[in-house]
Structure 1
Amino acid sequence: MFFRQLITSALTTLLCFSAWAAPLTPEQHAAKEKGIILYNQYKAISAEPYLEIAAQAGDKEAQYYLGEALRLNNRFMTEEAYKWYVAAAEQGDYYAMYRLSGTGSDLCSAIGNCPPDHRTPGDWLLLGRKTAQAFAEKGDSEAMYVLYYLTNNFEWLEKSAEAGLPIAQYDLARLYEQGKGFFFPPWKRSARVEELAKKSAEGGCIKGIMLYQNFLEGKKDIEIYWTKKAVALGSAEAVYAYGSGLAHVPKDYGYPLDLVKGYGFVYMLLELDGGGSLKEYAEDILPDIASQMTAKQIEQAKAFAEEWKATHPPLSFFPPKLGF
């Protein structure tokens, strides 16, 4: 009974504390956005100083992402990463609580150098469940989604998808595709996967778009439509596919030939000098595209790239917020 009262009291405190957090200044907000952009481009090392500006100012999302960046950069849970997860969790961030609930087998626990915060991974798991459930019961689809990972209760993922969260619709589609759940007659499984993939795509989930495109074989116009949607959202992979397709390099994939736009899209990928290999792919095919162009066309392509970047979301690999 005492432990239940302690968790309830802590939950009330966390929910209240999150309401007290001071808003970021424009400079701090810009630093946070820059940090998240870099993190989403697999540049976690470069993201750290930007995220720290907003994290030090008390922004719980920046604190969570800083913890993620530090953990990924060091390949394990460090004392510094743990500190920022705790800071975010103490403001009611259930993503951070989920991460903290899994530290029992991590290196910082194994060697005993996690900061003493008087909570075990089990404590964080229970608190994460209660925190997320409080929001889920009010209809918060994102809280339902995280609650699925905190409880392994499949119903929460179904509820999140039904409530319209695109990433939940994608995850549910993939689980159905892999055999989860019962469908009769069996062909209804594929129909349900396609339905969920389409809803996820319509909600702007890049993974949902890619999954839905698997159902569009022989429908090239519709497939290109969804590739263009992913490009407009900033998907780095879609930008490469569309740019190389427009340039017909390495081969003609059925896209209309447009060397200027093709070169421009591929050229944008040169800024991805963090993780992934798209920068190397871009460097490999740009000379082949350029060999078919005039100097003026190449300059037009570079100008197109700059204009596109100024009017569209930044390039992103869209890593899952729950991390790797």
Structure 2
Amino acid sequence: MIEVVAGVIRDRRGRILLARRTEGRDLAGLWEFPGGKHEPDETAEAALKRELREELGIEIEIGAPLIRVPQAYPHKRLCLDVHEIRAWRGSVRGLEGQALSWVPPHKLADYAMPPADIPVVAALMQPDRYLVTPEPGADDETWLGALEQSLATGIRRVQLRAHSCEPARWRALAGQAVARCKAAGAQVLVNGDLELARALGAGLHLRASQLAQFAERPRSVDGLVAASCHTTEELQAAQSIACDFAVVGAIKPTATHPGATPLGWAGFSGLREVVSLPIYAIGGLVPDDVAEARRHGAQGIAAIRGLWSG
């Protein structure tokens, strides 16, 4: 595993610096977050300071860790360790002949990047928590009230899921839930039901068993498309149909699957390597696990009990 460090460098306008890989290197012409290889006798922090001094001519103060992305390429495996840069001094220059670009955050996804850098953009721009709703109880208003409480905690991505709810009741309840999510500024996806997602103007979250039904991204979905995955093949299928993100687990033992062997963080990292999709970890996780999830390449956590306020 090759250890690579990179920094998220911002200017006074909030733009983020990208560097273009030069001719003669792997993945030449693609844009990446500046950094480089970690020498065996260096700490990650020392390596990042050295690399940005050598590549850009700046002195930096390293801020919070953002994400570590393990990624398998045809001829190598690497782990990209990305930190926010709290402050920097000097005049940014491409000292190795590389082109540089200061990019507004909302335009980062427009730049072609190596697979390991793509989840970094998601970590900067997308929610780190993905709420999966529990089955509605006997009272719809109680369930909707709990949803609103969850949204009030800052949840901005929600999957509406109810396997045992009577269809007509669920259709009406989901419609109210979509309206409340959108009013709160949250992205909302419907589990497994393409027609309901279309009717409600919501995104679609595919079950793993549904992936084989699609040769391309489901059309006329007014929102995000995501998938639950458990294997390399399922993740590759989700990426091939241009899903926006995936969910992988279970990381820890859960009450809903008491006999299942948990994947664990090592197992999650192994699956993380095979695609460039943003991936949420799921299974027995709570908000305090977000930092650990990021250390293994996750976008963040998905959860029912860990994120539901009811």
TM-score category of the 2 structures, normalised to the smaller one: under 0.3
- Write 1 or 2 for the structure with the bigger share of helix: 1
- Write 1 or 2 for the structure with the bigger share of strand: 2
Larger RCO (alpha carbons 8 Å, 6+ apart): 2
Normalized against structure 2, the TM-score is what? 0.26
Normalized against structure 1, the TM-score is what? 0.25
